[in-house]
């Protein structure tokens, strides 16, 4: 009975968190539209740079310690308060160094005063978000995601409410950026309050050298993976900002925001299949390959029409949503949407590698791709500006896919022929959809065109035998398990 309730509780909390992430993405996207239209291309470039620049340093502050805290708390709840106290103590000591490094670098890079002021604010946002991350780690270790789910939505709702009001009042940029800081502070106090009220864990700052050393040693694999991933995901904006300027970052940020928002689908899917991968690897290896094939199949089924659908309507949708000033975002958006297939497929590949104890190889792959991404951005941006950043993103994800699928082939033997034939069928269905949307968008509103195209895709996919009711039910059973 206890085990059953534990599974039931985990499923319930995961549902809370998935819904919360969906709401957070929706609120974030709405706020970004308001922000982009309210402050203009150049200023949105400054905002995006400040957030991306300080985000790079977040992993150097956490160093994977929160992941260790979650794992160790799950093993023994009694260690939670001691470990959390020492992690926060370490972070407080490291904060002065990290924040000082941020100030030093942004000044050495020669950015204007307004940009530096934005970075100073986002630096504090990064610090408080890191503290909050560890507090939620202690709660996660007790198999509870509800309070983090609520905090995630609360954080974004505060940004939307306060930031939206300040934009309406035409406040200056640092004041508008302060909405992020207020939201981060609120989330930190929310997490700390519930940690003590619901779980009886007090926030006590500790400095036990032996414990901190032990935690850092345990966190090393997580730290490396996190640092590589952070470099991969944030350096394109920083390099683009330095080599080209705020306007180019502003154009690129709109394209990236749209593409990034769609990644949530694959992220949620990956979170659902990871436990199943782990279970099958340990107990039923014959089913591991089957689930991997299903995962790749359904993500292709989602990614290709999403990619071609957005490309089909991008020239009609960008100006009405973000404003005519962002029309140049169409080109980088189309390139980023081409990378969506690789982005989606990299999620189950990464989940499989981690579930099958190949996390070290996965970390090495992330490191190689991070280096490649930085080099590709430095090479392509001088010639193609924001389009160069988009192409670097596409090439980087393609490389991550290739490196990952090679390792998968050494773990399981899966039906490559089936996936290849399915890919061709899905591509044909998606191209039919693309042609319908491309024609319809000149006759109807782009939203009507995309709905019609989606319906045509489902019909074409059905006629080509890509799905049946029973196949969807089978996938649902695997995800539920």
Which carries the bigger pLDDT value, residue 19 or residue 339? 339
Element (H, E) at 200: none
Half-sphere exposure of 212 (CA within 13 A, CB side): 16
Which carries the bigger pLDDT value, residue 198 or residue 28? 28
In the prediction, which pLDDT does 2 show? Answer: 36
Q: Residue with structure tokens 């140049």?
A: 328
Structure confidence at residue 355 as a pLDDT band (50, 70, 90): confident
Q: With the C-alpha atoms ordered 154, 156, 161, 163, is the resulting torsion angle positive or negative?
A: positive
Structure confidence at residue 448 as a pLDDT band (50, 70, 90): very high
Lowest mean pLDDT among 37-41, 162-166, 398-402, 468-472: 468-472
Average pLDDT of the residues in 438-450: 90
Lowest mean pLDDT among 82-91, 178-187, 256-265: 256-265
Q: What tens digit of pLDDT does each residue of 43-75 get?
A: 999 999 999 999 989 888 988 888 888 877 777
**Angle subtended at Cα 87 by Cα 84 and Cα 90, rounded to the nearest 5 degrees:** 150
Which carries the bigger pLDDT value, residue 354 or residue 107? 107
In the prediction, which pLDDT does 40 show? Answer: 92
The Cα–Cα gap between 254 and 35 comes to 11
Average pLDDT of the residues in 244-263: 90
The Cα–Cα gap between 152 and 146 comes to 10
Task: Please determine, for residue 265, whether its predicted confidence score (pLDDT) is greater than 60.
Answer: yes
Cβ neighbours of residue 332 under 8 Å, at least 6 residues apart? 251, 252, 255, 256, 386, 387, 389, 390
In the prediction, which pLDDT does 82 show? Answer: 87
In the prediction, which pLDDT does 229 show? Answer: 80
Which carries the bigger pLDDT value, residue 197 or residue 273? 197
Task: Please determine, for residue 4, whether its predicted confidence score (pLDDT) is greater than 50.
Answer: no
Structure confidence at residue 476 as a pLDDT band (50, 70, 90): low
In the prediction, which pLDDT does 275 show? Answer: 66
Task: Please determine, for residue 401, whether its predicted confidence score (pLDDT) is greater than 50.
Answer: yes
CB atoms within 10 A of CB 331: 18
Please state the domain extents for the chain. 1-232, 244-481
In the prediction, which pLDDT does 188 show? Answer: 94
> Long-range contacts: 431-440, Cβ < 8 Å, 24+?
431/308, 432/456, 432/457, 432/460, 433/305, 433/308, 433/309, 433/312, 433/457, 433/460, 434/308, 434/309, 434/311, 434/312, 437/309, 437/312, 437/313, 438/312
Q: Which residue, among 139, 146, 151, has the nearest Cα to 70 in the 3D structure?
A: 139
The average confidence (pLDDT) of the chain is 87
The Cα–Cα gap between 376 and 391 comes to 8
Structure confidence at residue 149 as a pLDDT band (50, 70, 90): confident
In the prediction, which pLDDT does 6 show? Answer: 45
């Amino acid at each position: 009975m206890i085990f059953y309730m534990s599974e039931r509780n985990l499923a319930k909390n995961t549902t809370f968190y998935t819904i919360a992430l969906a709401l957070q993405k929706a609120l974030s996207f709405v706020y970004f539209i308001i922000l982009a239209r309210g402050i203009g291309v150049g200023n949105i470039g400054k905002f995006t740079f400040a957030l991306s620049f300080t985000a790079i340093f977040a992993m150097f502050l956490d160093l994977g310690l929160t992941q260790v805290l979650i794992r160790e708390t799950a093993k023994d709840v009694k260690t939670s308060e001691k470990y959390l106290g020492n992690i926060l103590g370490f972070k407080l000591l490291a904060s002065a160094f990290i924040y000082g490094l941020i100030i030093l670098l942004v000044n050495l890079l020669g950015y204007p005063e307004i940009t530096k002021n934005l970075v100073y604010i986002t630096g504090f946002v990064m610090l408080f978000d890191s503290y909050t991350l560890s507090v939620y780690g202690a709660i996660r270790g007790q198999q509870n995601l509800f309070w983090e789910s609520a905090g995630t939505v609360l954080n974004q709702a505060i940004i939307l409410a306060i930031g939206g009001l300040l934009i309406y009042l035409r406040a200056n940029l640092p004041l508008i950026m302060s909405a992020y800081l207020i939201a981060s502070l609120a989330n930190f106090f929310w997490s700390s309050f519930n940690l003590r009220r619901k779980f009886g864990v007090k926030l006590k700052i500790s400095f036990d050298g032996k414990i901190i050393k032990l935690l850092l040693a345990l966190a090393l694999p997580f730290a490396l993976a996190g640092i590589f991933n952070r470099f991969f995901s944030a350096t394109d904006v920083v390099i683009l900002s330095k080599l080209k300027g705020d306007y180019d970052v502003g154009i690129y940020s709109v394209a990236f925001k749209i593409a990034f928002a769609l990644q949530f689908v694959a992220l949620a899917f990956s979170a659902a299949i990871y436990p199943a991968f782990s279970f099958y690897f340990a107990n039923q290896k014959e089913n591991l390959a089957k689930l991997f094939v299903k995962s790749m199949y359904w993500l292709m089924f989602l990614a290709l029409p999403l990619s071609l659908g957005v490309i089909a309507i991008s020239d009609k949708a960008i100006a009405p949503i973000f404003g005519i000033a962002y029309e140049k975002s169409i080109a980088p958006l189309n390139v980023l949407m081409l990378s969506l297939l690789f982005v989606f497929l990299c999620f189950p590949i990464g989940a499989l590698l981690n579930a099958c104890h190949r996390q070290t190889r996965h970390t090495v792959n992330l490191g190689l791709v991070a280096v490649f991404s930085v080099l590709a951005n430095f090479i392509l941006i001088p010639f193609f500006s924001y389009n160069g950043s988009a192409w670097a993103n596409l090439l980087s994800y393609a490389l991550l896919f290739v490196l990952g699928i090679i390792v998968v082939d050494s773990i399981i033997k899966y039906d490559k022929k089936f996936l290849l034939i399915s890919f061709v069928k899905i591509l044909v269905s998606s191209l039919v959809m693309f042609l319908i949307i491309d024609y319809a968008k000149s006759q109807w509103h782009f939203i009507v065109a995309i709905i019609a195209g989606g319906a045509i895709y489902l019909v074409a996919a059905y006629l080509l035998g890509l799905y049946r009711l029973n196949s969807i039910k089978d996938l649902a059973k695997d995800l539920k398990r």
